[in-house]
């Protein structure tokens, strides 16, 4: 604001930002509205209001099995991605060695290579080593997809963390192992939380790679939804998608609240 008048450039930017936000959220809004549609064919405007499609989604056994499989796979993939990604990020951020950039590029390949190509490659590998159709193979495949996000986020956190804290701990007698778990890990905890969130969401929403790696007995929820869509065209998937949207919003809000708590503690400790 200048001379009591609003800056037209700032107003224009806010308007454009608002329009972009509406454009991005509009499809989600239509999904939520359609989940209450009494019409089987998703007619608009709505002729009434119903919760039938929510009860129908809860009654489909494939969705319940897929939900359980997705939770197990997503949690397992997140744990593996956090462990491997943190170790890789620490090695790349704290050490200089020949081939360092090649190693970084290699670890980023899962998000550079098209998902279909990556899934086909894992399928051929798993057929040879006996992991095709197993939950272990699915966890490892999803972990590889989440690892680049964890590595990049944790590496960024390590770049902002000076080595003086780790060096001070070792000067006081702590060995590298103790220093890593007592100094480094607590200092980069916000980055670990964000990385874990990205890894979990990447696994939870994965369809392309999962299509190559699953069998009917261990289908994840996105695969079960994909199969349902091939046979039915009712708003059941809209109802289930609305529940998943709410779950994602709650997950993000919880992560934000935890991050705020961590930042507040760090500010208090500095004071």
Q: 267 to each of 65, 158, 249, 262, 263, how far by Cα in Å?
A: 44, 18, 27, 9, 6
Q: Indicate if the pLDDT at residue 270 is higher than 80.
A: no
CATH-assigned architecture of domain 76-268: Orthogonal Bundle (1.10)
- Residue found under tokens 């699915």: 138
Q: What is the pLDDT of residue 96?
A: 85
Q: Left, alpha or beta for 88 (phi > 0: left; psi -120 to 50: alpha)?
A: alpha
* Total-model pTM: 0.84
Write down the domain spans for the chain.
Answer: 76-268
Mean of all residue pLDDT scores within the chain: 86
3-class state of residue 2 by DSSP: strand
3-class state of residue 5 by DSSP: strand
Query: How many Å separate Cα 262 from the centre of its chain?
Result: 20
Q: Indicate if the pLDDT at residue 179 is higher than 80.
A: yes
CB 89 within 8 Å of CB 151: yes
Average confidence (pLDDT) over 26-52: 83
Structure tokens at 216: 């009917």
Prior bond of 215 cis (ω within 30°): no
Q: What is the pLDDT of residue 88?
A: 93
Residue 2: strand pairing partners? 5
Query: How many Å separate Cα 157 from the centre of its chain?
Result: 18
Average confidence (pLDDT) over 51-60: 90
What sections of the chain are H helices per DSSP?
8-34, 52-59, 61-94, 100-107, 109-112, 115-129, 135-160, 164-171, 176-179, 185-187, 189-204, 208-213, 221-231, 236-270
Give the HSE-up count for residue 256: Cα atoms under 13 Å, Cβ half-sphere: 6
Q: What is the pLDDT of residues 197-232, one digit of tens each?
A: 999 999 998 998 999 998 888 899 999 998 898 888
Higher pLDDT: 143 or 37? It is 143
């Amino acid at each position: 604001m200048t001379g009591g008048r609003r800056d037209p450039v700032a107003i224009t930017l806010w308007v454009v930002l608002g329009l972009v936000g509406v454009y991005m959220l509009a499809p989600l809004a239509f999904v939520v509205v359609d989940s209450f549609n009494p019409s089987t064919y998703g007619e608009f405007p709505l002729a009434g209001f119903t919760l039938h499609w929510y009860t129908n989604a809860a009654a489909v056994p494939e969705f319940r099995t897929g939900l359980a499989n997705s939770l197990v796979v997503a949690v397992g993939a997140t744990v593996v991605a956090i462990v491997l990604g943190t170790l890789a990020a620490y090695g790349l951020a704290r050490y200089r060695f020949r081939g360092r950039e090649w190693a970084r590029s290699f670890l980023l390949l899962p998000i550079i290579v098209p998902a279909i190509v990556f899934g086909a490659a894992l399928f051929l590998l798993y057929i040879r080593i006996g992991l095709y159709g197993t939950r272990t193979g699915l966890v490892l495949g999803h972990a590889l997809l989440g690892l680049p996000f964890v590595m990049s986020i944790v590496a960024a956190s390590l770049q902002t963390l000076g080595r003086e804290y780790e060096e001070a701990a070792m000067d006081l007698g702590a060995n590298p192992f103790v220093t890593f778990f007592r100094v480094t890990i607590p200092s980069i905890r916000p980055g670990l939380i964000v990385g874990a969130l990205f890894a979990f969401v990447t696994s939870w929403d994965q369809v392309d790679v999962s299509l190559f790696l699953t069998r009917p007995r261990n289908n994840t929820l996105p695969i079960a939804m994909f199969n349902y869509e091939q046979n039915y065209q009712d708003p059941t998937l809209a109802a289930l998608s609305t529940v998943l949207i709410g779950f994602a919003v709650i997950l993000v809000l919880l992560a934000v609240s935890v991050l705020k708590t961590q930042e507040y503690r760090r500010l208090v400790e500095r004071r």
